[in-house]
Structure 1
Amino acid sequence: MARLPLIAAALLALGNGVLGVLKPCGKAQYDPTQYVCYDNQFLCPIIAGEPLSYCSGACYSKFQYKCVNNVLGVLPGLAAGTSFTLTVSNPTLPINGKFVTAGGLHLSLGGTTSSYCPTQVGSACPPGNITAISAGSYGGGLSMADMVPGGQQVYLDPNWNLAYTQAHSAYIPPGSTVSGFAAYAGGGLVNLNGNGWGWVGCPPTASGGGGGVWNLVARNSSNAASLNNCTPVNLKINTLPGGSYAWQYT
């Protein structure tokens, strides 16, 4: 991940329209709402509200990489079967710090977890009040951390929304994507599909019923033009003790 040359960064900021007062970084001027300056000579962009960190000539995201003794490396992946929740990270948005929640067989931002447990399960029912996901192998699939026989698989539907299967059914719509996720320990959930364009949060619309729940979409070359009203976000991983956190998610 190469750093952005000073002159190129300054010209890019001017071309995009200056949003803040320009500051010096070495011999260049930069917009602090779009970049951060390291050692008075290196500029790194702010992406999804995260000022990228600097490591020996490269800018990097702490949701995917680490810098140890000036050597850039990838964060370790979560062990398969590790349960975790996700929170939204983008300080510019009102949903910053809100949980990713399950409801209507989709994962959304800032909603309320929807789950169900049969009465006959009785006291063995998990609380079902948080949305927990179970890690698969690196670059592989994900599943919901629940108890229902057969489980519930997580996938990207044909419109690149993050969804999960109905309990007791393995049906996934044609054109969906079931792998290509990376869950990093101490980092975030990264979508490796679509050349790594990342996640976006799309605000509720009046036609969609309004409310405070945002839609979560994997952005890529096929849908970027239709997501102008959406904002890049990171998904922060919060690991949980092993186990199931709902009977099933609805």
Structure 2
Amino acid sequence: MTKSLGLALAGLLAAAGSARADLQTCGDAQYDPAQYVCHDGNFLCPIIAGEGLSYCSGACYSTYMYTCTNNVLTPLQPLAGGTPFTLTVSNPTAEAVDGLAVDACNQRWNLGIETCSYCPDTGIECPVGDTTVVSAPDTTASGSEPAMDVIVPGGQVVYLDPSGAVGYTQAHSASIPEGSTQGGLAAYSGGGFVNLNSGGYGWVACPSTASGGGGGYTLFAVNADNKATLASCTPVNLKVNVQPSGTVGAWQYT
């Protein structure tokens, strides 16, 4: 996601020299409609993770992070800290993953499988625990990170492990793998869940290779170090679905 036209213009130059019959015209240039969208008959913006970027006064932008009002581009408002939300995958060009819910299981964020949760046998009443709910970080506090929306004392913090996979701490433990990234993840009202860490290149869904199989996909944040490794995975956006105040996802996610 970017508000720069640089990527679009670079692609435009490549497309201009092509003789492909399916190229379309935007202003004085030709473009591939599978890779770009034309705004107002003159302005090209790239398609990223299935989203044709919108246009605002000289800039391409993602509606998962920005809005355009009276030709002024402004960031969406982050959710207030502690707001519960779920996540849905979006990539209209990738039918296999488009519309899947993000599910927590085995200390990972996954797609296309069931949520894994636990309720202690102590006679207390637990949430159903079959939906993965996340608690928004407090973006006004330095170092704040999102957390799983749980009851278990100490909570379960969300992080990016060294491979880029989205993980969360085990209950009763603050331990995360060495080299992991904490913080830099934002949830926007009316928008998406975004990795703001330096060098972030969005999200991808990779077929699960977990021991024992089970199908589904694992969610990764792409960066300069893992970009080549994850090149065959499917780029996706993460849509934020705000839940009613007081929603609790589970006692704990496993």
**Alignment TM-score, normalising by the size of structure 1:** 0.92
1:9 partner SS: helix
- 3-state SS of 1:120 partner: coil
Q: How does 1:34-49 map to 2 (within 5 A)?
A: 34-49=35-50
Q: What does the per-residue CA deviation read over 1:189-218, in whole Å, with 9 as the maximum and x for residues that have no partner?
A: 00012423111111245x865554111111
The secondary structure found in structure 2 opposite 1:12 is: helix
2:11 maps to a residue whose letter is A
Deviations 1:90-116 (A, max 9, x none): 012211010000000111122210001
Q: Match of 1:117?
A: 119
Q: Is 1:134 aligned with 2:135?
A: yes
What corresponds to 2:149 in structure 1?
Answer: 145
2:87 corresponds in structure 1 to 86
Cα distance, 1:173 vs structure 2: 1.3
CA deviation string 1:72-131 (max 9, x = no partner): 000000000000000101012211010000000111122210001012143x21010100
Instruction: Give secondary structure in 1 for the equivalent of 2:11.
Output: helix
User: Which of residues 151, 165, 168 is equivalent to 1:164?
Assistant: 168
1:223 is the counterpart of 2:226: yes
CA distance in 1 between counterparts of 2:106 and 2:21 reads: 41
Structure richer in helix, relative to its length: 1
The amino acid of 1:163's aligned partner reads G
Determine whether 1:63 maps to 2:64: yes
Conserved 8 A contact 1:203-1:229:
no
Partner of 2:195: 191
Secondary structure of the 2:180 match is: coil
Other structure's SS at 2:220 match: strand
| TM-fit CA distance, 1:178 | 1.2
Q: Aligned pair count? A: 247
Q: Tell whether the 8 Å contact from 1:197 to 1:219 is kept in structure 2 after alignment.
A: yes
Give unpaired runs (5+ residues) of structure 2.
none
Distance 1:18 1:125, change over 3 A: farther
What corresponds to 1:173 in structure 2?
177
What letter is aligned with 1:86?
L
The amino acid of 1:103's aligned partner reads C
Q: Unaligned stretches of 5+ in structure 1?
A: none
Alignment check: 8 A CA contact 1:194 1:219 kept = no
Residue 24 of structure 1 corresponds to 25
Measured at CA, do residues 181 and 6 of structure 1 come closer, stay the same or move farther in structure 2, by a change above 3 Å? closer
Name the SS for the 1:202 alignment partner: strand
When the two chains are superposed, the root-mean-square deviation of aligned CA atoms in Å is: 2.1
Q: TM-score, normalised by structure 2?
A: 0.90
